[in-house]
Amino acid sequence: MASLTIRKLDEGVKTYLRLRSAKNHRSVEEEVRVILRELIEGREEPLTPFSAPPAPSTAPTPQRTGAVPEASVTLIIGGGIAAYKSLDLIRRLKERRIEVRCVLTKAAQQFVTPLAVSALSHERVYTDLFDPQSEFDAGHIRLARDCDLIVVAPATADLMAKMANGHADDLASAILLATNRKVLLAPAMNPLMWTNAATRRNVTQLQRDGVVLIGPNSGEMAETGEAGVGRMSEAIEIASAAERLLRPPVPKPLAGKRVLITAGPTHEPIDPVRYIANRSSGKQGFAIAAAAQAAGAEVILVSGPVDLDDPTGVTVKHVESARQMLEQVQAALPADIAIFAAAVADWRVANEGEQKLKKTSAGMPPLQLVENPDILATIAKLTDKRPPLVIGFAAETEHLIDNAKSKLARKGCDWIVANDVSPATGVMGGDRNTVHLISRKNGEKDGEIAVDSWPVMTKEQVAIELVAHVAKSVSGKSVEPAS
C-alpha cells in the first residue's frame, strides 16, 4: 500500500486539504482517506476549496440514488442478549443507504458470530484492539473517525461504565475514547442494572458529555422473564434515530410562502408548424423552483417548452407563447414572491398563418413582428396583487451591469439577477452560471443600486443562493393564501 507524505504536496493542494479537514473536524490524513473513499465510491463533491464558505443551505436533502452509501456508521455491538437485534439494525441502516462497519466486543461474540455480522454488513468485522492486520495504520483510530456516527447497540452497563470513565482497554472502548463523532447509545440491560446508582451516574455523565441515548424501552426481559425498563429499542427506532443525527431536518425558511416562477423560452408561432424561439433551456428557473420547494414554499412554475422533468412537489403550468405565459402568471396570483427567469420572446409574428406557409414564386412571405406583453413589468407595476418581492432576470450579451441597472428602474421590479449569455459563456443551455444580483440598498424604492457579484456556480447553487437571499428578505412578511 502506498503511503502519502502530505508535506510533499503542492501548496494549493495542502491549503485545500487543511481548509477541508478543519471544516470537517478531521485530521488531514483522515480527510485524504475520506476523499479517496468518495472518489472510489463515485461520490462527487465540488472542489471549491478557496471560495468563501457557502451560505446556510436551504438545499433539499440529497436524493438517494443508486446503491452508493450516503453516510457511514461504526456499529459497536456489546455483549447482551439484545445483540441479535443488531443483526436487523445492520439491515435497517443499510436500507437507508448507510454503510455499516461493525465492531464486536469479546462478550458480544458469545451472542452473535462475526461471520453473521460480516455477512450482513458485507464488510470485515473488527474484534481485536491488538489486531496486526488492521493496526498497521492505527485501525482503531480509523474506525473511530472514518465514519459519520458511532452507534452502540446494545450498549451494555459495562460499556457505558467504561465510556463514562474514559477506559480504553479493548477495541470498543478505545474507539469510543478516540472518536470525535457523535455517539448514539441504545442501552439494553436488566431493569435492576439500569436503575442501579452506578448506571444512573454513568448515564448522567454520558449525557453531559454529549452522547445521545435512544431507549431503553420498558417491557419483558428476554433472558430472565422479568419486566421493567431495560429493553433495547427496536432496530427500526435505532435506525431512525441514527438517520435523524446523520441527516438533520432541512430548515424550511419559505414555509407558508407562495412562490411564482417562470422558466424556459417561449415559442411564438409563425404558422401551425413553425415558430420563433430562443436557446433558453429552463434549467435555471427549474433549479430555483426546486430550491424554493425544498425551502418549504408552495411553488407554481410557469414554463415554456423545455426538455426537463417537472420538479417534484411543484405545480407546473406548461405554456408555449408569451401571451399564454402572462395568462398563467396572472391566474397564479397572489404570490409572496415572483421570480421571472423565463426568456420571454420580445416579439411575436403579427400575421400568424392559419395554414402552413407555402413556397411561392413571389418569394419569402414578409414576417410582421409586434411586441409581446412585458410579463415582468406588467406584474411589477400592478397596484393590486403585486407580489411583495418581484425578481426579474436580465440576460445580456454586452454592458451587463449597466443594462441590468436600467432594467431594474424601467421594469419596476425589486431585484434583477443579471447574467452574461454571450455564446462564449456557455450559460444558455449549460449547467453553470455567473450572476450579479442587482437590488436597491436597504430595499428602499428609490435607494442606491447595489451590485452583488457571485462567483461562477452551478445553476443549482445559484438557485440555492438566490432562495437563501429571498428567505432572508421576506421572513415575516406574507400575503393571504390564494383561493
Ligand X SMILES: Cc1cc2nc3c(=O)[nH]c(=O)nc-3n(C[C@H](O)[C@H](O)[C@H](O)COP(=O)(O)O)c2cc1C
Binding site for ligand X (CB under 6 A): 78-82, 105, 107-108, 154, 156-159, 188-189, 193, 223
| Cβ count near 135 (within 10 Å) | 15
The answer to whether 85 is annotated as binding is no
Q: Which of residues 159 and 470 has its CB atom nearest to ligand X in the complex?
A: 159
Min dist CB 245 to ligand X, Å, is: 22
Phi-psi region for residue 482, left (φ > 0), alpha (ψ -120 to 50) or beta?
beta
One-letter amino acid of 471: A
Any known ligand binding at 459?
A: no
* 3-class DSSP assignment, residue 437: strand
List the one residue out of 105, 82, 86, 84 whose CA is nearest residue 172: 105
Q: Residue of minimal CB distance from ligand X?
A: 80
Copy the grid coordinates of residue 203. Answer: 448515564
H-type alpha helices, 167-321: 171-178, 191-195, 197-208, 235-246, 283-294
Q: Taking the chain, what is the end-to-end CA distance rounded to the nearest angstrom?
A: 66
Is 376 a known ligand-binding residue?
yes
Closest listed residue to residue 392, CA positions, set 406, 413, 372, 419: 413
What does the alpha-carbon distance between residue 184 and residue 188 come to, in Å, rounded to a whole number?
13
Residue for grid cell 482497554: 169
Q: Nearest distance from residue 134's CB to ligand X, in Å?
A: 18
What is the smallest separation between the CB atom of 188 and ligand X, expressed in angstroms?
A: 5
Least CB distance to ligand X at residue 75 (A): 13
User: Would you say 121 or 173 has its CB closer to ligand X?
Assistant: 173
Helix (H, G, I), strand (E, B) or coil at 351: coil
Instruction: Count CB atoms within 10 A of the CB of residue 192.
Output: 12
Known binder of ligand: residue 175?
A: no
Minimum CB distance to ligand X smaller for 108 or for 289: 108
Give residue 482's identity as a one-letter amino acid code: A
Q: How far is the CB of 466 from ligand X (least distance, A)?
A: 52
In angstroms, the Cα distances linking 251 to 61, 218, 243 are 10, 33, 16
- Between 167 and 318, whose beta carbon lies closer to ligand X? 167
CA distance 435 to 37: 34
Residue 411 assigned to a binding site: yes
Nearer to ligand X, 31 or 158 (CB): 158
In one letter, which amino acid is 423? Answer: P
Q: How far apart are alpha carbons 385 and 416 in whole angstroms?
A: 20
Burial string for 382-406 (b: 16+ CB within 10 Å, else e) reads beeebbbbbbbbbbbeeebbebbbe
Please confirm, yes or no, whether 419 is among the known catalytic residues.
Answer: no
- Min separation Cβ 157 and ligand X, Å: 4
> Which of 24, 202, 278, 351 is labelled catalytic?
278
Cβ nearer to ligand X, comparing 154 with 264: 154
CB of 206 to ligand X, least distance (A): 14
Find cell 478543519 and name the residue: 22
Peptide bond before 216: cis, by omega within 30 degrees of 0? yes
What are the DSSP E strand ranges found in 61-204? Answer: 71-77, 98-104, 149-155, 182-187
Query: Looking at beta carbons only, is 82 or 299 nearer to ligand X?
Result: 82
Among 408, 480, 419, 477, residue whose Cα is nearest residue 448: 408
Residues with catalytic roles: 278
In the annotated binding site for CTP, the residues are 346, 356, 373-376, 393, 407, 411
